[in-house]
């Protein structure tokens, strides 16, 4: 038996969906548009905020000191030039840190440049130095006026590629790179070693503590944080900076010098990126650096092979910790890491002045004019 269901025509008509009024339809469309726009705006704001944080926020300045203290010195530079001298416009103070602009000759024997921060001299400047972290937020932070004939723009950056966003802003604008990399147009590292004229009587500072690490940028995604989490299982490490024990620039050397080892862990593993963590914090304090950064071969281009301990020399953090404990218990083996200090002296660039003077020297040598199509392709 086949059963069928049937409805009167009136019932069918009553159950048919009723089309919403036109005003209701337009209202729903408007609400959907506003919702989508709000979500897009929030995502864009978050992305810009992230770049803004990288470009503007500085957890720990690259240079520990802003310049030699002398109240009689002007930080504005000079607006009177000697015939033949180059006019170099410092577009922004790096991280807002001011320093004397007229000490290249007295400190480093470099002359022939007049530095100024007065932007009214833009049209007469032979070169403009652009500090990346101060102009990376927006293209509007770059010079907006037409560039004078033959004026050179110098891109100055001491941060690693990871912390150098918006490099595409500089496409086809930069003529010279001022950077810590050896293949930069103007090579300006964080430090170097020079040969002493006579044997040096270097004495290892008195050590009462084992391992120190100063870190202000605590990012769990970084390799150095992951390695530290493994190392601390086998070794007591005193932490400074950020939310840890305070460490002011004036007390850095005296504090770290009490330790036998210092973790000179870089925030990025990039070519030639060997920062103040090694040159200033460790070597100037007379502490044995344990480095994490580019490969050992890279460090050995700047330092003797027995001047540091590289984490890559050990299969794991546990083996490294065991070796540090061994050196702690054996003074003779520990002292061998300082033998090089008898013939070589480490120099750390703790002042911005030196980097700008390096630019003066290079510009005076009249390098061939060129334009760099893409910084990003080189700086990676």
pLDDT digits (tens, 9 = 90+) for 44-90: 555 455 555 556 554 444 454 444 433 334 445 544 556 689 999 99
3-state class (DSSP) for residue 132: helix
240 pLDDT band, cuts 50/70/90, is very high
Q: Which of 59, 145, 159, 297 is catalytic?
A: 159
Rounded CA-CA distance 306/336 in Å is 8
Q: Is 364 exposed, middle or buried (0-12, 13-18, 19+ CB in 10 A)?
A: middle
pLDDT at 34: 64
Q: Is the pLDDT of residue 99 over 90?
A: yes
Helix (H) or strand (E) holding 107: helix 104-108
Mean pLDDT lowest for which of 200-204, 241-245, 286-290, 330-334? 241-245
Instruction: Quote the mean pLDDT of the chain.
Output: 86
Mean pLDDT lowest for which of 37-51, 212-226, 283-297, 354-368? 37-51
Q: Is the pLDDT of residue 41 over 90?
A: no
68, 69, 81, 102 from 72: Cα distances, Å: 11, 9, 20, 12
pLDDT at 66: 40
Q: Would you say 165 and 136 are in contact if contact means Cβ atoms under 8 Å apart?
A: yes
Greater confidence (72 vs 366) lies with: 366
Greater confidence (377 vs 64) lies with: 377
Question: Any catalytic annotation for residue 339?
Answer: no
Q: How many CB atoms lie within 10 A of CB 57?
A: 9
pLDDT at 64: 47
pLDDT at 297: 97
Query: Using a CB cutoff of 8 Å and minimum separation of 24, what contacts does 49-53 make?
Result: 51/136, 51/137, 51/165, 51/166, 52/137
Q: Is 189 exposed, middle or buried (0-12, 13-18, 19+ CB in 10 A)?
A: buried
3-state class (DSSP) for residue 312: helix
Mean pLDDT lowest for which of 78-87, 245-254, 275-284, 339-348? 78-87
Q: How many CB atoms lie within 10 A of CB 75?
A: 16
Single out the residue of 210, 215, 206, 309 nearest to residue 254, CA to CA: 206
């Amino acid at each position: 038996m086949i059963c069928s269901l049937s409805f009167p025509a009136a019932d069918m008509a009553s159950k048919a969906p009723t089309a919403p009024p036109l005003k209701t339809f337009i209202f729903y469309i408007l609400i959907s548009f506003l919702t989508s726009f709000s979500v897009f705006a929030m995502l864009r704001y978050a992305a810009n905020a992230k770049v803004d944080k990288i470009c503007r926020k500085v957890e720990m300045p690259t240079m520990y000191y802003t310049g030699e203290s002398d109240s009689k010195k002007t930080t504005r530079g000079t607006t009177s030039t000697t015939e033949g001298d180059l006019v170099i416009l410092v577009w922004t103070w790096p991280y807002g840190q001011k320093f004397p602009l007229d000490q290249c000759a007295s400190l480093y024997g470099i002359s022939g440049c007049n530095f100024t921060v007065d932007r009214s001299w833009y049209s007469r400047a032979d070169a403009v130095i652009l500090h990346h972290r101060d102009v990376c937020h927006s293209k509007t932070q770059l010079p907006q006026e037409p560039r004078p004939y033959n004026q050179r723009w110098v891109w100055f950056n001491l941060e690693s590629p990871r912390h150098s966003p918006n490099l595409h802003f500089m496409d086809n604008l930069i003529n010279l790179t001022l950077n810590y990399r050896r293949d930069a147009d103007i090579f300006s590292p964080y430090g170097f070693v020079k040969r002493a004229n006579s044997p040096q009587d270097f004495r290892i500072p008195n050590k009462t503590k084992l391992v120190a690490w100063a870190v202000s940028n605590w990012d769990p995604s970084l390799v150095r944080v992951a390695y530290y989490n493994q190392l601390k299982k086998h070794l007591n490490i005193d932490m400074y900076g950020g939310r840890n024990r305070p460490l002011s620039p004036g007390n850095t050397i005296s504090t770290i010098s009490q330790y036998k080892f210092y973790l000179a862990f870089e925030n990025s593993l990039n070519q030639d990126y060997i920062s103040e963590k090694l040159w200033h914090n460790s070597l100037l304090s007379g502490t044995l650096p344990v480095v994490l950064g580019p490969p050992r071969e890279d460090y050995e281009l700047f330092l003797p092979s027995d001047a540091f301990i590289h984490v890559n020399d050990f299969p794991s953090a546990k083996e490294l910790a065991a070796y540090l404990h061994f050196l702690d218990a054996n003074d003779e083996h520990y002292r061998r890491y300082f033998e090089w200090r008898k013939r070589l002296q480490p120099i750390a660039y703790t002042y911005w002045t030196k980097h700008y003077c390096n630019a003066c020297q290079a510009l005076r040598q009249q390098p061939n004019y060129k334009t760099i199509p893409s910084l990003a392709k080189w700086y990676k």
